């Protein structure tokens, strides 16, 4: 068989196999950092187990606005989001310090504007967290952002979105009168801890549920002025998808409350620290959380 015919046959086989593959009944999305991917994979696997339907995955979509646009446009059917992020980055409303009020406002606005449903929270609050190297904290004795502001000018590192958000960098610097040593350095979120460890920066805008916090020599500074709003995590889903798939809402809400902060840090560390695939981490979490009933 000549090469042209072989390639044509292989192409035809690939197309045939793709046509035979089950079409996803829904698509789960995520933003582009570890916690989002882990949660999205847990959601996808849990829905597959409970509803016995094929679930598509569109992970690492980018930042908040890209994921939100994909949701309202129908490219994805659901993804995990944070209440404070929705309030400030999506709805463009001022930050609030009341978790219940933030969730109620976000839930109502999403339903009215886009027919999107915020389901019951997953159980953790992933607030922004400013981290310094342990050697700096020990040398200066600082434990809060107010103390950091009085200590020195900081080489600050942050993710791209944090620099632009209304609840991000500019407001933080103003609230605490923090001084920076040169322009803040923006980078991918996955590079922040490496930059801190290598002394390219000495203060980073990270997240309170980062898995690496427990194993690296870093100190999380207290947000003593309570600048950051609450960031309760919950699944946001399209109303039409929930209506189309009976049992979907119930299946998703079986995960509500199953992710206290410590559990989320452990899941994040399994990927970032132990370098395990998110699909494996998700499967192990679901196996241990929803153990099959044992017949008497």
Secondary structure of 177-239 in the HEC alphabet? CCCECCCCEEECHHHHHHHHHCCCCCEEEEECCCHHHHCCCEEEEECCCCCCCCCEEEEEEEH
Would you say 78 and 239 are in contact if contact means Cβ atoms under 8 Å apart?
A: no
The pair of three-digit structure tokens given for residue 73, joined into one six-digit string: 């446009």
pLDDT in tens, 102-157: 999 999 999 999 999 999 999 999 988 999 999 999 999 999 999 999 999 999 99
Q: Do the domains 128-221 and 24-125+230-289 match in fold? A: yes
pTM for this prediction? 0.81
Q: Where are the domains of the chain?
A: 24-125+230-289, 128-221
Please name the residues in contact with 22: beta carbons below 8 A apart, sequence gap of 6 or more: 54
Which among 230, 249, 224, 227 has a CA at the least distance from the CA of 100?
230
Question: pLDDT in tens for each of the 296 residues of the chain?
Answer: 455 554 455 545 444 444 456 789 999 999 999 999 999 999 999 999 999 999 999 999 988 999 999 999 999 999 999 999 999 999 999 888 899 999 999 999 999 999 999 999 999 999 889 999 999 999 999 999 999 999 999 999 998 889 888 888 999 999 999 999 999 999 888 889 999 999 999 999 998 899 888 788 999 999 999 999 899 999 999 999 999 999 999 999 999 999 999 999 999 999 998 999 999 999 999 999 997 644 44
Reported CATH class of domain 24-125+230-289: alpha beta
Domain covering 128-221, topology:
D-Maltodextrin-Binding Protein; domain 2 (3.40.190)
**How far is residue 125's CA from residue 144's CA, in Å, rounded to a whole number?**
19
């Amino acid at each position: 068989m000549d090469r042209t015919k072989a390639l044509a046959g292989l192409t035809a086989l690939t197309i045939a196999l793709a046509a035979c593959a089950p079409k996803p009944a829904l698509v789960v999305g995520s933003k582009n950092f570890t916690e989002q991917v882990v949660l999205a994979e847990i959601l996808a696997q849990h829905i597959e187990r409970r509803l016995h339907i094929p679930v598509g995955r569109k992970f690492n979509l980018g930042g908040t606005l890209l994921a939100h646009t994909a949701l309202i446009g129908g490219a994805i059917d659901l993804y995990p989001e944070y209440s404070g992020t929705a309030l400030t980055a999506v709805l463009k409303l001022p930050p609030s310090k009341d978790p219940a009020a933030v969730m109620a406002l976000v839930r109502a606005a999403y339903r009215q504007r886009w027919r999107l449903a915020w389901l019951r929270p997953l159980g953790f609050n992933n607030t922004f967290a400013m981290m310094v190297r342990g050697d700096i904290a020990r040398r200066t004795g600082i434990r809060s952002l107010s103390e950091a502001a009085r200590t020195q000018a900081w080489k600050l590192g942050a993710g791209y979105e944090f620099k632009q958000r209304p609840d991000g960098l500019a407001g933080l610097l103003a609230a605490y009168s923090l001084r920076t040593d040169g322009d803040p350095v923006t980078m991918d979120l996955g590079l922040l801890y490496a930059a801190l460890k290598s002394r390219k920066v000495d203060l980073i805008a990270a997240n309170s549920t980062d898995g690496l916090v427990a194993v690296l020599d870093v100190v999380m500074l207290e947000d003593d002025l309570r600048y950051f709003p609450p960031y309760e995590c919950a699944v946001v889903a399209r109303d039409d998808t929930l209506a189309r798939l009976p049992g979907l809402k119930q299946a998703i809400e079986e995960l509500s409350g199953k992710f206290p902060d410590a559990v989320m840090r452990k899941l994040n560390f399994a990927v970032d620290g132990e370098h395990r695939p998110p699909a494996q981490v998700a499967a192990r979490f679901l196996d241990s959380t929803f153990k099959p009933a044992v017949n008497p």
